[in-house]
Amino acid sequence: MALLSKRDSKLILDPLSDNNPITIQVLGICSALAITAELEASVVMSIAVLFVMGTGNVVISLIRNIVPSRIRIIVQLIVIATLVVIVDLVLKAYAYELSKTLSVFVGLIITNCIIMGRFEAFALGNAPWRSFLDGIGNALGYALILVIVGFFRELLGSGTLWGYPVFGDAIDMTGLYALGYENNGFMLLSPMALIVVGIIIWIQRSKSTHLIED
Amino acid sequence: MGINTDKNSYTLLFAIGMVIIVGTLLAAIDSSLRERIDTNKILEKQQNILYAIGINDNEGSSVRFISKDQAPIEFDKYVVNQIYIQGGKIIEDEEAYLIEVKKEKTLAKDASYNRRLPLFIAEKDDKKYYVAPIRGKGLWNSIWGYVSMDEDMIIQGAYFDHQAETPGLGANINQRFFMDDFIGENLLDSNGNFKGITVSKKNLDPRNEIKDDNEVDAIAGATITGDGVSAMIKSDLGLYVPYFKQLKQN
């Protein structure tokens, strides 16, 4: 991280651990529940959010001095919606299969409160470069949790990773299934995403005890 | 910055300016990508239809279409005839596969409109396949599919897809463990009358060995999506019965 000053690298690293948008600020839970049944969808969602958050923060930061404060929330929404529609169109044109898995969830990005939160809390008061780093940092923090949750839900729920069977074939009863192992279908339902996130929060807080409030 | 951003006139101007910029930008991107998106949709239809007649790259238990580059070539090779049926008349149309079932269904709400029913006739290993598109409602949004049949309306292959069914539950209608169960099922009952296929939770035949019971095994936890599949098979494939009756007579 020699490229970045200490203050700047904090912008990227903080959201990955002590200021994680999902596990500490408990934002963006809605999309974390919806799309993490498969690892692939989690990764694509993360990349899309990375793009929207990075560019969105820069755009908002560039226009921060000319945005009338009374309509700033609407302006933020328009910026997010525009970027999301662009992501959707580009996916449809260049990664059609993926755009199908994400079709509904791409719309969910618009309502992702992490993005609105960073626009309001950071980009409106900081220069473009720092806003960009902040956006990337928070998107990576979001992505980290999404990927972890997606990994466990797909592995335990469907017995696959990225669509490839890891435990053998459940229908032909090969591999682990021959020994009587069964996929836990419950992992595919949204409540289990919350529980996995809860376990991550638990582990994180027991490791960094300064996060625990009295 | 010396602008007073709190003035009403400024706020209004800003809003108008923003709408114009964003509108132009999105319109430009949409029109530049439109062609690619439309091509993707057409290729997907070809892949789906080919899948229903058993032309695919399936590996193990996962669904793999043939590649996008191969789709148009294979499509021209296997699909020998495309027709649509309108008001009892059979009309040949080389691009019948581009007829949108969704649009036809909407138009058909007007009683004076005769719905066009596309049917694609394919030949593979000297055997004829009749592929019909179907469309209906799942739990959250549309579901659709392509079903290939022989002259006796026995299902030879099926592909189902969905817009937004629950991942891991209803979304599994496009998985092989569900779709493959339809192969060999008879759409007609023992008297030769159209009955459709019911996605049933109590058919006591999980391996689907009984092929003439007009039932396949349902997906646990996906009742409404399953009912949607039964309903669209019944309503949409039922419309083709006169065609198949005529086919038998000739």
Lowest mean pLDDT among A134-143, A145-154, B53-62, B147-156: B53-62
The tokens for A188 are 């595919």
ipTM confidence: 0.76
Using CB atoms and an 8 Å cut-off, which of residues 147-186 of chain A contact chain B? 157-158, 163, 165, 169-172, 185
What's the whole-number mean pLDDT along residues B200-223? 83
Q: What is the predicted pLDDT for the residue at A1?
A: 46
**CA angle (B227, B166, A196) in 5-degree steps:** 145
**Which residues span the domain enclosing A49?**
39-205
pLDDT tens-digit map of B90-140: 898 888 889 999 999 889 888 888 889 999 999 999 999 999 999 999 998
Assigned domain for A6 exists: no
Structural domain count of chain A:
1
A45 has a pLDDT exceeding 90: no
- A35 touching B, CB under 8 A? yes
pLDDT-derived band at A151 (thresholds 50, 70, 90) equals: very high
Q: What is the predicted pLDDT for the residue at B168?
A: 67
Which residues of chain A lie closer than 8 angstroms to B141, CB-CB? 104
Which residues of chain A lie closer than 8 angstroms to B40, CB-CB? 92-93, 96
pLDDT tens-digit map of B236-250: 999 999 999 988 887
Q: Which of A40, A83, A24, A35 is nearest to A59 (CA)?
A: A83
CB contact under 8 A, B33 and A92: yes
Q: What is the predicted pLDDT for the residue at B143?
A: 94
Which residues of chain A lie closer than 8 angstroms to B14, CB-CB? 66-68, 71, 75
A58 has a pLDDT exceeding 90: yes
Assigned domain for A15 exists: no
**In this complex, which of B3, B168, B177 lies closest to A66 when CB atoms are compared?**
B3
- A143 touching B, CB under 8 A? no
Q: How many CA atoms lie within 13 A of B227 on its CB side?
A: 6
Q: What is the predicted pLDDT for the residue at B3?
A: 67
Closest approach of B179 to chain A, Cα-based (Å): 14
Assigned domain for A143 exists: yes
Q: What is the predicted pLDDT for the residue at A171?
A: 64
Assigned domain for A211 exists: no
Q: Which residues pair with B132 in a beta bridge?
A: B147
CB contact under 8 A, A188 and B62: no
Q: How far is CA A164 from CA A98, A146, A154, A168, B165, in A?
A: 16, 19, 10, 9, 21
Lowest mean pLDDT among B43-52, B54-63, B106-115, B176-185: B54-63
Assigned domain for A54 exists: yes
pLDDT-derived band at A209 (thresholds 50, 70, 90) equals: confident
pLDDT tens-digit map of B151-194: 999 999 999 999 888 766 788 898 888 999 999 999 999 888 99
Query: What percentage of chain A exceeds 70 in pLDDT?
Result: 93
Assigned domain for A9 exists: no
Q: What radius of gyration, in Å, describes the C-alpha atoms of chain A? A: 19
Closest approach of A91 to chain B, Cα-based (Å): 9
Which residues of chain B lie closer than 8 angstroms to A103, CB-CB? 163-164
Q: How many CB atoms lie under 10 A from the CB of residue A44?
A: 21
Assigned domain for A26 exists: no
